[in-house]
Structure 1
Amino acid sequence: MYALVTGASRGIGRAISLLLAQRGYDLLLVARSEDQLTALAQEIAQKHQRQAQLLALDLAAPGAADTVAAWALGHAEQLAVLVNNAGYGLWGRFEQLSLAEQQNMLQLNMALPVALTHALLPALHRAPKAYILNVSSTAAYQAVPSLSLYAASKAFLLSFSRGLRYELKASNVSVTCLCPGATTTAFADRAGMGAELQATANKVSMTPEAVAEAAVTGLLAGEAEIVPGVLNKVSAGLTSFVPKGIVEKIAAGIYEKYL
């Protein structure tokens, strides 16, 4: 049984890949860095005695989803898990950020998981039991000024996951959405956040390993949504009760003051 993980080279994707290998899955690993994927494949073989195939690819490039799907179907005898983890954020005011870079982010955060899921669902249906994990964010639960498009893209992924889950409820495929909060990864650097904001986030950050443990456990248990960490659960839950304007003001107070 194979599991395909995008954005597998580091952070949450890397930690999820190792846990899936520990649980007996062979891995199909996709990310941009071939060196990091090779190191991960070697660790999977050494620690868990599972096979790991790798594909180094810019997942935001045109046709990337078709390339990944064709490669996966050519390498997996039976695909049972799809983890749509690839994605990133951009920090700053919408009108001041490059439109091209923002569109690149939307391609990776939304279009890629939709296209991959559509292409690979027939293969997942052939497994005795199959799982899809879409990696969103606690930013999906509210608008976040200075991360406006990132939060919107993660809200899309959460909504897509819940709708698809209902459509597939009578099938062998279970759909789960992971919504982590601040995590000790390269997200802040990639998003262009300053040192002060990164330091603030680090005070409440979870490790990728802790997030991955919650993710894989919840995924295989068939949970609809996973919000790792007590603080993240509370903050995500409060957005349902607190007026949106207040939530947005709080978010702006955290992120915009460092611009």
Structure 2
Amino acid sequence: MNTYALITGASKGIGRSIAMLLAKKGYPVLLVARAEDELKALAQEITALYKVQANWLAVDLSTNDAAQKVRQWSTENSYPVSILVNNAGYGIWGNFESVDINGQLNMICLNINALIKLTHLFISELKQQPQAYILNVCSTAAYQAVPTLAVYSATKAFVLSFSRALRYELKDSTVSVSCLSPGPTDTGFAHRAGLDALADLAAKFNMQPAEVAALGLKGMFNKKAEIIPGFLNKLSVGAARHLPKALIEKIGGDLYKSK
């Protein structure tokens, strides 16, 4: 293939699995994340396994100029992009007033600002392709307010709303926009968010990153607006849509209760 798939947060978890699956389909991949050693190792593994080009850029996407660096890198090296996967993101758990504000603002920069900037920077190039895709990785937390994950769930609600609006704006173009909303997934998210106390509970419901990635890409290539992998996750989203908000918030607040 002559065009590339660009994946952020590609060094581990769902992003890594998406990169591997796209490479398996024959797409040369552009891998973006902070962890240089992990990116380098992944690029070497992809090249060895699938005989496609795998290039990487180590950058902290939460910084103001990171998206521009990614765009400049792809332009200067003549990497035409037909798939943009905005996967990078993380969560922070705890009562809003107790959690360091700088950490929460950094999370907003990564979960929202980086996604918006990258999409805006690449959209013109994507529209020039015969067929192009944007896959924004969201969360089932997008469908309801989640006490103790207040800012995280709000960022994901933004991503979901933005994705649907952009999808409509681009409906007459060659670019299809999809939003992938996983539930609990074995990616290390809970540990980084500070949810180690719920690790045993999460493990009972965790999906594997490769499974989530496969369902996400299947939905993306089928041009689905929203992709919710797993029966239990579909059930929880359905409940969030139809049950009273106060009840859903109480359930979430009890589940993720902060001491």
Fold in common (TM above 0.5) = yes
After the TM superposition, which segments of 4 or more aligned residues of structure 1 sit over 4 Å from their partners? none
Could you list the per-position Cα deviations for residues 178-218 of structure 1 after superposition, in whole angstroms to 9, with x for gaps in the alignment?
Answer: 00000001111111112x31111111000000000001111
Which residue does the alignment assign to 1:223? 224
Structure 1 counterpart SS, 2:179: strand
1:36 corresponds to which of 35, 38, 61: 38
Q: Which of 185, 191, 194 lines up with 2:193 in the alignment?
A: 191
Residues in 1 aligned to 2:76 and 2:200: alpha-carbon distance in whole angstroms:
44
Q: Contact 1:78–1:126 at 8 Å: present in 2 too?
A: no
Alignment partner, residue 26 of structure 2: 24
Unaligned runs of 5+ in 1: none
1:2/1:76 contact within 8 Å kept: no
Residue 173 (structure 1) aligns with:
175
Taking the TM superposition and a 5 Å limit, the aligned residue runs for 1:60-139 are 60-139=62-141
Paired residue total = 257
What RMSD, in angstroms, separates the aligned Cα atoms of the two structures?
0.9
Which amino acid letter does the alignment assign opposite residue 52 of structure 1? A
Residue 24 of structure 1 and its aligned partner are, at CA, apart by: 1.3
- Partner of 2:187, secondary structure, is coil
Residue equivalent to 1:204: 205
Name whichever of 12-21 and 184-193 sits farther off: 184-193
Q: How does 1:49-64 map to 2 (within 5 A)?
A: 49-64=51-66
Look up the SS of the partner of 2:242 in the other structure. coil
- Secondary structure in 2 matching 1:240: helix
C-alpha separation between the residues in 2 aligned to 1:47 and 1:5? Answer: 18
Displacement after TM superposition at 1:76 (Å): 4.1
**Which residue of structure 2 lines up, in the alignment, with residue 249 of structure 1?**
250
Unpaired segments of 5 or more residues in structure 2?
none
Secondary structure, in 3 states, of the residue corresponding to 1:53?
A: strand
1:214 alignment partner in structure 2 = 215
Instruction: Report if aligned partners of 2:93, 2:148 keep a CA contact under 8 Å in 1.
Output: yes
Q: Is the 8 A contact 1:11 1:185 kept in 2?
A: yes
Q: Is the 8 A contact 1:132 1:173 kept in 2?
A: yes
Q: For residues 55 and 79 of structure 2, what CA distance do their matches in structure 1 show?
A: 12
Greater Cα offset, 73-82 or 213-222 = 73-82
